C-alpha cells in the first residue's frame, strides 16, 4: 500500500478548529438574533445578569423567546418553565438521532456534550456524519455558546434601542439560517415526505390551538415518524 493511499486522522486541535470554522456562518445569524432577544428581555424588565444566566443555563433561542414573552405578560414562574420544557421536547428526538455517533462515549461526557445541543449544532453534527468527533462538537459548541451569551447580554444592555426589530429585518435572520441548514439536508425527492409531514402537522396544530408552542412538538413528531417509516421501508427493501 502506498503512502498516498493512507488517510491520516485529523488531530483533536484540527477537529476543534474545523468546528469553529463551520460554525461561523451560523454565528453571523445568531448574533443579531441574540441581540434582539436581549433587547426584548430589557423591555420585559430583565437585567443583563438575568439574561446572562438564562442564556448560560438554558441556551435555547426559541424557548428563551417564549420565556421572555411570558415574563413580559407577567406569567408565573412555573408556566415559564413549562413552556421552555415543551419547546425543548424536540431535543429528545434530535438526541436520539445522534445516539449512533455518541456510542462508546461515557455517559457523563455525552451528557455534558448534549447540553450544548441546539438545532444548528445538531444539523452540523448530522452533516459531519460518522466522522463526528467530540473535538469537532466542542468547536461548534464553544463558538456558538460564547456568541449567544455575549450577544444576548449586549442586547439587554442596549435596552430599547431597537424600537421596531421587523423594520431592520432582524425577525427574518434565523429563518434564513434554518433555510440554509435545511438546504444542506436535501437528498432529492426522498427528503420531501418528512419535511411536508412536519410542516403540515405544525401548521394544523398552530391553526387549531389558541396559542402556545404545541405546533413545534407536533411538527417534530410528525416529521420524525415519517422519516422512521421511510427508513424501515428502505431496510425491508434491502432485506428482500
Q: How far apart are CA 228 and CA 145, in angstroms?
A: 31
Output the pLDDT for position 5.
45
Q: How high is the mean pLDDT in each 10-residue block of the chain (240 residues)?
A: 50 91 90 87 89 92 82 76 75 82 85 90 87 91 96 87 63 61 67 84 83 69 78 66
pLDDT of residue 101: 84
- Determine contact, residues 158/177, Cβ cutoff 8 Å: no
Instruction: Give pLDDT, residue 213.
Output: 61
Question: Which grid cell sits at 35?
Answer: 441581540
Query: DSSP states of 93-123 as a string?
Result: HHHHHHHHHHTTS-HHHHHHHHHT--HHHHH
| DSSP code of residue 132 | -
What pLDDT, on a 0 to 100 scale, did the predictor assign at position 20? Answer: 94
Burial of 146 (0-12, 13-18, 19+ CB in 10 A): exposed
CA distance 174 to 37: 12
In a 13 Å sphere around the CA of 200, the CA atoms on its Cβ side amount to 10
Q: Where are the alpha helices (DSSP H) in 159-213?
A: 173-184, 192-208
What backbone torsions phi and psi does residue 49 show, to the nearest 5 degrees? -65, -45
Instruction: Match 415559564 to its residue by C-alpha cell.
Output: 80
pTM of the model: 0.69
pLDDT of the residue at 4: 46
Amino acid at each position: 500500500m502506498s503512502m498516498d493511499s493512507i488517510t491520516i486522522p485529523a488531530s483533536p486541535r484540527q477537529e476543534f478548529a474545523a468546528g469553529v470554522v463551520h460554525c461561523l456562518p451560523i454565528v453571523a445569524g445568531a448574533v443579531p438574533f441574540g441581540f434582539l432577544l436581549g433587547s426584548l428581555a430589557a423591555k420585559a424588565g430583565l437585567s443583563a445578569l438575568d439574561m446572562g444566566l438564562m442564556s448560560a443555563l438554558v441556551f435555547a433561542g426559541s424557548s428563551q423567546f417564549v420565556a421572555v414573552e411570558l415574563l413580559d405578560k407577567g406569567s408565573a414562574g412555573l408556566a415559564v418553565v413549562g413552556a421552555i420544557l415543551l419547546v425543548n421536547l424536540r431535543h429528545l428526538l434530535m438526541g436520539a438521532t445522534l445516539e449512533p455517533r455518541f456510542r462508546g462515549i461515557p455517559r457523563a461526557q455525552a451528557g455534558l456534550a448534549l447540553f450544548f445541543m441546539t438545532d444548528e449544532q445538531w444539523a452540523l453534527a448530522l452533516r459531519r456524519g460518522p466522522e463526528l468527533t467530540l473535538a469537532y462538537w466542542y468547536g461548534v459548541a464553544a463558538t456558538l455558546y460564547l456568541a449567544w451569551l455575549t450577544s444576548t447580554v449586549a442586547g439587554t444592555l442596549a435596552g430599547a434601542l431597537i424600537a421596531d426589530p421587523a423594520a431592520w429585518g432582524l425577525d427574518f435572520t434565523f429563518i434564513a439560517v434554518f433555510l440554509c441548514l435545511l438546504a444542506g439536508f436535501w437528498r432529492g425527492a426522498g427528503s420531501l415526505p418528512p419535511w411536508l409531514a412536519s410542516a403540515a402537522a405544525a401548521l394544523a396544530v398552530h391553526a387549531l390551538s389558541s396559542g402556545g408552542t404545541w405546533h413545534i412538538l407536533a411538527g417534530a413528531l410528525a416529521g420524525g415518524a415519517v422519516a422512521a417509516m421511510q427508513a424501515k421501508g428502505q431496510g425491508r427493501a434491502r432485506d428482500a
